[in-house]
């Protein structure tokens, strides 16, 4: 039907007869002349209808916002003084000659220009209209460009796009599964994939050598702001490559992506061991745009009377650390109270602080409620270690190591953002040398997943599991985990050792993933890979705050779809067929 997209029209089309198809974005009646701004996916064009073409004029006059129209007309330059430099098509307009109303529209629930004043629930309930907005069109187009560039890169590097099943046995990825009842197998359930982890490993056993998939994954977790119950991974697995090879290949992919689509050179990604990231930044995904670091001061506090610090300072499971914020002395009481509330989210019971006003006057130049508890000598020793300067504020954390790292790690970013301390726009890195296991209330669990290879022998692993490091790696950008993966275990003995340490019995292992354990006995090659979170990558690249803004039809925080109202009830007949009886009928 159309000859040109509205948004593509330029000066060089002047004089051409064209056909446009799109939506009426706005109708204006300028004293006898009707202007229609017509919109399609490429943008807006202004079409003018004169009264001397009676029929099309009357039709144009009857158009309302969001009517779908086909317009034949001629491109001409805009009259002197009416050129709009803000619009890409602002130098031209179309003289409308014929107009067909292809479809009418009810008055939309919100004007496309006024979306900011409507709640997100209205936007999500009417997503098909919300998605007409140029910002949303732009984000989804960008997303398509990203997947396209990634596919091209992986294709150029010999990767095969192979689909893996959606209806599966539960995989032990750590989160809760979404379950699907089987009609044919009474009382049995499929699990939706949390990731294609085991299948991609099996594809390596089958000899495909390099696999990728733009894979939908499902995790039934309590949702945080940046999570979705279904999300997309760029899932990658390779054979006969070690961590250097895999990191190099994927780092190159992300660097190329940023260069091609954003004109940004991310440079070489530095590597940082997990222990160093936790020590210096209190996070396994440090945001290196901010220069501040955590500096431990437990040794200086070990002898003081004040239990709040001395207790943790003498407990090996605890951490006592300081965060020096240059320029932070100007923070008000209210700011500090707000930060105290903020760290309490992470379990911190308080937030001690010292303001540095005139360091040349020793403790007299400091301002703080805690100096009297620390004593002058300890206070000055801390200031010395931190290299405190006038205008600084120092925050302290003293508690279980996990609480202190998380609380002060998060505070570091929050204060950094509030005081605009970011030193660069993009800060990528690899975090490496993760521990194999972590201790939880339920015993030892795998930090990555149970198929990740340790960097030691099975004997050493068994002897000292909590000391063992894994061959896992995370790619981090601006404090976000973009992707993570590992070299896998390809040896049956090692796999059995890891499962044993995790307290997974042979029976349970056989029941859950016996097929993988069997496959490892039939010539499994050394292999490894990783997965990138596509939604988060797009968020970062487009500077979007909410994950819902980069997904066409997202779920809400309570894991439902406001438009289709999924999940929903099903009929009694369907339940009967599945042999499911609800404990409580809704």
By DSSP bridging, strand 366-367 and strand 230-239 are unpaired
Q: What is the largest CA-CA distance in the chain?
A: 94
| Residues 62, 195: Cα–Cα separation, whole Å | 52
CB of 520 to ligand ASP, least distance (A): 16
CB of 153 to ligand ASP, least distance (A): 17
Q: Report DSSP state, residue 26.
A: E
Say how many C-beta atoms besides its own lie within 10 A of residue 57's C-beta: 18
- Closest to ligand ASP by CB, 479 vs 533, is 533
* Listed residue (420, 419, 398, 417) closest to 407, CA to CA: 398
- Closest to ligand ASP by CB, 494 vs 562, is 494
List interacting residues with ligand ASP (CB under 6 A): 195, 197, 484-486, 529-531
- Closest to ligand ASP by CB, 531 vs 541, is 531
Say how many C-beta atoms besides its own lie within 10 A of residue 129's C-beta: 19
| Residues 578, 570: Cα–Cα separation, whole Å | 11
CB of 486 to ligand ASP, least distance (A): 5
Q: Where are the beta strands (DSSP E) in 105-196?
A: 160-161, 179-181, 189-191
CB of 196 to ligand ASP, least distance (A): 7
In degrees and rounded to multiples of 5, residue 38 shows phi and psi of: -105, 135
CB of 215 to ligand ASP, least distance (A): 9
Given strand 160-161, what is the order of strands in its sheet? 160-161, 210-218, 230-239, 527-533, 480-487, 472-477, 428-432, 271-273
Which two structure tokens, joined as six digits, stand for 495?
């796999």
CB of 409 to ligand ASP, least distance (A): 21
Residues composing the chain: 586
Tell me the sheet residues that pair with 211: 160, 237
Residue 481, judged by CB atoms within 10 A of its CB (0-12, 13-18, 19+), counts as: middle
CA 490 to chain centre: 30
Angle between helices 274-281 and 401-418 (to 10 degrees): 60
Tokens 């190159």 sit at which residue? 252
| C-alpha torsion angle, residues 16, 21, 23, 27 (rounded to 10) | 30
CB of 517 to ligand ASP, least distance (A): 18
CB of 216 to ligand ASP, least distance (A): 12
CB of 530 to ligand ASP, least distance (A): 5
Per DSSP, the three-state class of 530 is strand
């Amino acid at each position: 039907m159309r000859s040109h997209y509205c948004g593509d029209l330029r000066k060089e089309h002047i004089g051409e007869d064209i056909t446009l198809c799109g939506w009426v974005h706005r109708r204006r009646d300028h004293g006898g002349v009707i202007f229609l701004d017509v919109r399609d996916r490429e943008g807006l064009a202004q079409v003018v209808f004169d009264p001397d073409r009676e029929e099309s004029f009357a039709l144009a006059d009857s158009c309302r916002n969001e009517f779908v129209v086909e317009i034949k007309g001629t491109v001409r330059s805009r009259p002197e003084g009416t050129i709009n430099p803000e619009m890409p098509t602002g130098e031209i307009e179309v003289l409308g000659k014929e107009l067909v109303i292809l479809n009418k529209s009810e008055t939309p629930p919100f004007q496309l220009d006024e979306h900011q004043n409507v709640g997100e629930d209205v936007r999500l309930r009417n997503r098909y209209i919300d998605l007409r907005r140029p910002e949303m069109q732009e984000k989804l187009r960008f997303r398509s460009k990203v997947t396209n560039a990634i596919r091209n890169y992986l294709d150029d590097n010999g990767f095969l796009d192979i689909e893996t099943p959606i209806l599966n046995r539960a995989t032990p990825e750590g989160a809760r599964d979404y379950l699907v009842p089987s009609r044919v197998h009474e009382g049995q359930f499929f699990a939706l994939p949390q990731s294609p982890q085991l299948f991609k490993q099996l594809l390596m056993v089958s000899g495909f050598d390099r696999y990728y998939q733009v894979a939908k994954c499902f995790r039934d977790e309590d949702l945080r702001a940046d999570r979705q119950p279904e999300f997309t991974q760029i899932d990658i697995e390779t054979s006969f490559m070690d961590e250097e090879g895999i990191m190099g290949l994927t780092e190159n992919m992300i660097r190329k992506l940023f260069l091609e689509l954003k004109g940004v050179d991310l440079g070489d990604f530095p590597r940082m061991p997990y222990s160093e990231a936790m020590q210096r930044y209190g996070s396994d995904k440090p945001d290196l745009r901010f220069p501040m670091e955590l500096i431990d001061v437990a040794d200086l506090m070990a002898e003081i009377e004040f239990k709040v610090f001395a207790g943790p300072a003498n407990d090996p499971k605890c951490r006592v650390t300081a965060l020096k914020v240059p320029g932070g002395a100007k923070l008000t009481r209210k700011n500090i109270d707000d930060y105290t509330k903020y760290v309490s989210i992470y379990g911190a019971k308080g937030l001690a602080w010292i303001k540095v006003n005139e360091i040349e006057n020793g403790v007299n130049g400091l301002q703080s409620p805690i100096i009297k508890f620390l004593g002058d000598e300890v206070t000055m020793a801390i200031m010395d270690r931190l290299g405190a300067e006038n205008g600084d504020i120092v925050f302290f954390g003293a508690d279980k190591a996990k609480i202190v790292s998380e609380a002060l790690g998060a505070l570091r970013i929050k204060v950094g953002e509030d005081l605009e301390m970011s030193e660069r726009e993009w800060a990528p890195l690899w975090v490496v040398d993760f521990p194999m296991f972590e201790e939880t209330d339920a015993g030892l669990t795998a930090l990555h997943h149970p198929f990740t290879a340790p960097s030691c022998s099975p004997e050493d692993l068994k002897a000292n599991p909590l000391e063992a490091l894994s061959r896992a790696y995370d790619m981090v950008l601006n404090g976000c985990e973009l992707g993570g993966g590992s070299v896998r275990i390809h040896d049956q003995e090692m796999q059995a050792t890891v499962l044993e340490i995790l307290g997974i019995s042979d029976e349970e292992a056989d029941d859950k993933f016996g097929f993988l354990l069997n496959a490892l006995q039939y010539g499994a090659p050394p292999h490894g890979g990783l997965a990138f979170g596509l939604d988060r990558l797009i968020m970062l690249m487009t500077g979007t705050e909410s994950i819902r803004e980069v997904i066409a039809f997202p779920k809400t925080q309570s894991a439902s779809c406001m438009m289709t109202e999924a999940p929903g009830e099903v009929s009694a007949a369907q339940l009967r067929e599945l042999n499911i009886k609800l404990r409580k009928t809704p």
